[in-house]
């Protein structure tokens, strides 16, 4: 087996040291080096094209993190970027009043997404989940929120509580994905004052194996929620425009009252949306206030419209599923060949390779060694976050990655 040396990351490391004199922590949140393998992964990218990325030291990678989900097509898609450039040059994008692309996008959402009778567009996933809970509280005149999954960094749901008074999240209660008993117990205690249940329809808990809904789980969540006069919210920030063109709600056949979308809907441009049935969404007309200088900017609307056009025209999601099916099935065979305690979870558009925990905690070292071998071979996956398949991944990309995974597994097996 060919030995792959540690990458030259001299410029990345130097730039990071400089950044820490200017920016707390150098870079924010999940992009910090300790969320990868420190000293092995780059910290700054220089450029990207299609399914490939290049860091500031000149190392090239096959991109499977896809900007944590937005890149459904590929990096630097000319058709989308050219549409945005035309908007800048010919019409402009930041005005005191809205441009009509907002209506065009809302109409497209209504056409594609089962629950999207009306839509409101904001900037990030956290904006959307927070607005959705505010709408639910206004509509029901209740205050409790039951949550399942990651929903962003705002006060009510942030995982790290520094700087957040307890009163801002004391009415938010968590339950485990695929665990109806926990949800039922929450309703027994708080049901009369519960405004919303917000759940990721496909389970992707932080740094853990991914889960599909057990048969009847989502249907039961909806039934229990409605029995208690509560709004059901699907957090489709990751699944929207990736699991299917109409989101996980379309794929699994369960329609919520509200849903939030983002990431893949504009292939990297900053936009998210709250969609839902008109009766609930109309709370925003007078009772719920939302305003931002930048939410009406039309560039992201233009990018989203063009992205969705390409997704439909070129049958992108179907092809992503085909590639992902081949990829995941091939990885499963490799994991059987090298029984090192690794497993793959997820669905074809979204996958995660994790290591089973053991009492000696060797799994942590195995994970570090495995992902170190991958990054040295130019495969950009994250040890603590699931990966994605995008449209521009080629058969050559997939086969090279599978070969790299095989070599990384063999390395782990030989070492342990």
Query: Which pLDDT score is estimated for 402?
Result: 98
Helix (H) or strand (E) holding 119: strand 118-122
Separation CA 214–CA 389 (nearest Å): 24
The pLDDT assigned to 2 comes to 72
Contact 198, 151 (CB under 8 A): yes
Query: In this predicted structure, what is the pLDDT of residue 355?
Result: 97
pLDDT at 207: 87
Question: In b/e form, how buried is each residue of 31-66, taking b as 16+ CB within 10 angstroms?
Answer: eebebbbeebbbbbbeebebbbbebbbebebbbbbb
Where do the CATH 3.90.1150.10 domains begin and end in the chain? 10-76+316-415
Fold of 10-76+316-415: 3.90.1150
DSSP annotation of 118: E
Q: What are phi and psi of 24, to 5 degrees?
A: -55, 120
Cβ count within 10 A of residue 299: 22
Per the CB < 8 A criterion, the answer to whether 258 and 275 are in contact is: yes
CB atoms within 10 A of CB 292: 11
Topology at the third CATH level for domain 80-313: 3.40.640
Note the pLDDT of residue 246: 98
Q: Provide CB contacts within 8 A for 168, sequence distance 6+.
A: 155, 156
- Number of Cβ within 10 Å of residue 196's Cβ equals 29
Burial 158-194 (b: 16+ CB within 10 A, else e): beeeeeeeeeebebbbebebeeeebbeebbeebbeeb
The per-residue pLDDT for 407 is 97
Task: Please report the pLDDT score of residue 342 as a whole number.
Answer: 98
Sign, CA dihedral 208-212-216-217, equals positive
pLDDT, position 3 = 75
Chain region(s) in the chain for CATH 3.40.640.10: 80-313
Cα(305)–Cα(121) distance, integer angstroms: 13
Point out the residues of the chain with pLDDT beneath 70: 1
């Amino acid at each position: 087996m060919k030995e792959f040396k540690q990458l030259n990351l001299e410029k990345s490391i130097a730039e990071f040291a400089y950044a820490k004199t200017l920016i707390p922590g150098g870079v924010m949140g999940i992009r910090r080096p300790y969320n990868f393998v420190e000293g092995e992964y780059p910290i700054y990218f220089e450029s990207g094209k299609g399914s490939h990325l290049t860091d500031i030291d000149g190392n090239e990678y096959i991109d499977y993190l896809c900007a944590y989900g937005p890149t459904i097509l590929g990096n630097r898609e000319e058709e989308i970027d050219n549409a945005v450039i035309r908007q800048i040059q010919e019409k402009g994008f930041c005005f005191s009043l809205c441009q009509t692309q907002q209506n065009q996008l809302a109409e497209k959402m209504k056409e594609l997404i089962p629950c999207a009778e009306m839509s409101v567009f904001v900037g990030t996933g956290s904006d959307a989940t927070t607005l959705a809970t505010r709408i639910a509280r206004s509509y029901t005149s209740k205050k409790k929120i039951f949550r399942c999954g990651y929903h962003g960094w705002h006060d009510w749901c942030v995982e790290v509580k520094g700087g957040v008074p307890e009163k801002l999240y004391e009415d938010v209660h968590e339950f485990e994905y695929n665990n109806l008993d926990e949800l039922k117990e929450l309703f027994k205690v708080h049901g009369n004052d519960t405004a919303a249940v917000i759940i990721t329809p496909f389970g992707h808990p932080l740094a853990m194996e991914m889960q599909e809904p057990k048969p009847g789980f989502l249907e039961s969540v909806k039934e229990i929620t409605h029995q208690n006069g509560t709004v059901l919210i699907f957090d489709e920030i990751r699944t929207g425009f990736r699991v299917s063109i109409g989101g996980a709600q379309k794929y699994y056949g369960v329609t919520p009252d509200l849903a939030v979308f983002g990431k893949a809907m504009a292939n990297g441009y900053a936009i998210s949306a709250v969609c839902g049935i008109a009766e609930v969404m109309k709370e925003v007309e007078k009772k719920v206030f939302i305003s931002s200088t930048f939410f009406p900017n039309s560039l992201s609307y233009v990018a989203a419209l063009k992205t969705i056009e390409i997704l439909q025209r070129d049958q992108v999601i179907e092809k992503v599923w085909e590639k992902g099916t081949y990829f995941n099935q091939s990885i499963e065979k490799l994991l059987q060949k090298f029984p090192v305690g690794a497993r793959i979870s997820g669905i074809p558009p979204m996958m995660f390779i994790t290591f089973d925990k053991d009492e000696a905690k060797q799994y942590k070292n195995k994970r570090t060694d495995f992902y170190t071998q991958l990054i040295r071979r130019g495969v950009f996956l994250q040890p603590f976050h699931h990966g994605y398949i995008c449209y521009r991944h080629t058969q050559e990309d997939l086969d090279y990655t599978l070969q790299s995974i095989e070599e990384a597994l063999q390395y782990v097996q030989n070492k342990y």
